[in-house]
Amino acid sequence: MTKTLENKVALITGGTTGIGRDTAILFAKHGAKVVISGRREAEGKEAIALVKAAGGEGAFMQSDVSKTSDVQSLVKKTVDTYGRLDVAFNNAGIEGGWLPLLDMPEEDFDKVININLKGVWLCLKYEIQQMLKQGGGGAIVNMSSVAGYIGNAVASHYVASKHGVLGLTKSVALEFASRGIRVNAVCPAVIETPMADRAFGASPLIDRFRAMHPLGRFGKPIEIAEAVLWLCSDKSSFMTGHDIVLDGGMLAGPNPNA
């Protein structure tokens, strides 16, 4: 197997479960030294154990991406541990409580925006600062969603955050393209993760949600991880400021078989 991230140092936020964890393991298999961050230490240690079981090298660093000091410390510790930063997957995010606009507490809106959008902005700022110190060059992928393209009547805060990530991705990609730093995003539909279980798993409408995907199923974390790997590798060297939609056909239109 060709190791597309050989000798690269990768940082993955929200890497303790789901898409982030599968991406960390895949990165490790492709030769990267992987730093995983998240808020839960036990899950972080489990994820690093899986990275090492896959033959990789990695470290867990506890952090909250909505806090400037945590993000600064995370990037610094990554460089202190492995000497540099080459690629990053800004994946940390929460779904928040889905409620109609008039019922949504202001603190819920602030929390979702602070983690899903401000957190990506902070990570970009300090990741790119480090990449520039190294002389430029690097690849960054931000986590958006199909919610970055469409609305949801009871998830206005989540939808706003994911639309914002796409605008942020385009703007930052333009700003640093001349320095060789590529910035792209991924936009999954419903993926089989703990977040999806919280949002959809107990819903009596679960079959209806599944039917919104013309392929007839939810996605798997590894299917998103493979796209992130490609975007972080030299195989996508002419791509920046864009996103990949991985949605089982959802955005193509209504499922004719639903």
The mean pLDDT of the chain is 94
Q: Which amino acid is at 81?
A: T
Q: What is the pLDDT at residue 194?
A: 73
What share of residues in the chain are helix, strand, coil (percent, to 5)? 50, 15, 35
Q: What percent of the chain has pLDDT over 70?
A: 96
**162 catalytic per annotation:** yes
Q: Which amino acid is at 190?
A: V
E strand or H helix that includes residue 157: helix 156-176
Helices (H) and strands (E) in the chain, counts: 9, 7
* CA-wise closest residue to 91 among 15, 158, 32: 15
Q: What is the pLDDT at residue 202?
A: 62
Catalytic residue among 37, 145, 158, 236: 158
**252 burial level (CB within 10 Å; 0-12, 13-18, 19+):** exposed
**158 catalytic per annotation:** yes
Q: What is the pLDDT at residue 199?
A: 64
* H helical segments located in 188-248: 194-196, 206-211, 221-232
Q: What is the pLDDT at residue 229?
A: 98
CA distance 207 to 157: 25
Q: 83 φ, ψ to 5°? A: 90, -15
Catalytic residue among 33, 162, 233, 236: 162
Q: What is the pLDDT at residue 203?
A: 65
Residue 39 CA: distances (Å) to CA of 35, 86, 228: 14, 23, 22
**143 burial level (CB within 10 Å; 0-12, 13-18, 19+):** buried
- Block means of pLDDT (10 residues each) for the chain, 258 residues, are 90 96 98 96 95 95 97 98 98 93 97 98 98 98 98 95 98 98 97 74 72 92 98 98 97 85
Question: What global pTM score does this model have?
Answer: 0.95
Catalytic residue among 37, 63, 66, 144: 144
* CA-wise closest residue to 224 among 14, 1, 40, 61: 14
Q: Specify which residues 181 forms β-bridges with.
A: 138
Residue 11 CA: distances (Å) to CA of 85, 204, 232: 7, 37, 11
The count of other CB atoms within 10 Å of the CB of residue 170 is: 17
CA distance 42 to 195: 17
Domain annotation for the chain: domains and CATH numbers:
9-193+221-245 (3.40.50.720)
Q: What is the pLDDT at residue 254?
A: 84
CA distance 57 to 43: 17
